[in-house]
Amino acid sequence: MLTYNNQFEKRELQYANQEFRISNLWLDSILNSSDISVPADQFVSVCWNNKKYTINEKKLSDILNKLNKNIYIKHQIKIEDNCTQIYILINQSVTDYLHQKKLNKEFAWLGEGISIAIITLIIVLILYVYLDKILKFNLQQRNFLLAITHELKTPVASSSLAIQTAAKLNENNNQTTQILAIALKNMKRLGQLIEQVVLATKLEGSFIKTQKDWVNLQKILENLESDFGENYPENIKNSSFDYRKISLYCDMEMIQISLANLISNSIKYSEENSVNICVKVLRDGIQTKIMVCDQGIGIPMSERSNVFRKFYRIGDERTRSTKGSGLGLYLVKEIAKLHEARVIIEDNQPQGTCVSMIFKSKDVIIE
């Protein structure tokens, strides 16, 4: 802007100089073409550029009027030796005005710049204060979640141990054994939920690092099939786990949590007594997919980008009957990121959903 302002002043001064030269040429031309055959009482002597001219009084008056209208120049009249001496000068007041105008604009822009800088600084300070408070609150929230979940682990573990002990002491009482089995199952579920909250909190705060190694995927799948078959024998009627010799460069515990969450979702969102789960591995070019497919209610296309958000669940929380915390798919996505993998949701045929964890082929060996 300062450059533009300087250029504007320079351009105006050039225009003033140009008007000065044009006025000189114009006056010279007018005087040289003046008619000198006028009555003696109607002419005046005019001196210009060291020359003497005789012109009509009215014509002289017109010349002076035209010179007055040009704001870039001014003229002076002096009577010397019975001759009207005409001087044309660049109007200094105009050049002073242009210079002052330039300075006023510079001061105005400087003031505006300082004002904007001060306002921006105030806004930045306000944002810094509020962001600092938000970050501190988020840190306190994460620390609270970590603290409370760790505190819950001890009573959950103690309660589970007490239930197991009571079950052994009442092995001959079928009714008591069944009640204690239900209690133990729910304590195990509570423990898993606590572990998921701890893991989600650590992932959000980048407090966790992967312990990667080459792991036999068959072992993970066998553990999952045994676990879910034991806990949901009345639900899983048909299941298929791909048992080819597969080695995956990963954190075994995290991948097991991811697949367990996907299988758990397949069970939750399938009709009772009609759960069909298929876990398979597909090589697709330079990528390898580990897929968990079901024939449940499926996930609408409009919700597929939302279900990976933390604590997000489809539908109204007040009327939902399906159990869950909204952490499952969030953990799956975050764990996949730690393994440089992707997670996608696709339709299954004839119905249901396929959720795939896509790994780079360099991290998978299939024999």
Q: Enumerate the domain spans of the chain.
A: 2-90, 108-204, 213-366
Cα–Cα distance between 196 and 280 in angstroms, integer?
25
pLDDT tens digit sequence for 230-288:
666 555 545 555 556 778 888 888 888 888 888 888 888 777 655 677 788 777 777 88
254-255-257-263 Cα dihedral, nearest 10 degrees: 170
**Confidence band of 206 (pLDDT split at 50, 70, 90):** low
pLDDT value at 342 more than 60: yes
Task: List the one residue out of 237, 343, 210, 270 whose CA is nearest residue 229.
Answer: 237
The span from the first CA to the last CA of the chain, in angstroms, equals: 69
213-366 in CATH: which number? 3.30.565.10
List Cβ<8 Å contacts ≥24 apart for 91-95: 91/16, 94/16, 95/13, 95/16
Average model confidence (pLDDT) across the chain:
77
Which of the given ranges, 54-68, 112-126, 276-290, has the highest pLDDT on average? Answer: 112-126
Q: Are 276 and 292 in contact (CB under 8 A)?
A: no
Q: Which residue has the higher pLDDT, 89 or 294?
A: 294
pTM above 0.75, yes or no: no
Would you state the pLDDT for residue 318?
45
Q: 216, 245 in Cβ contact below 8 A?
A: yes
Report phi then psi at 90, rounded to 5.
Answer: -70, 130
pLDDT of residue 119: 92
Residue 189: which pLDDT band, with cuts at 50, 70 and 90? confident
Q: How far apart are CA 196 and CA 10, in angstroms?
A: 72
pLDDT given at position 237: 47
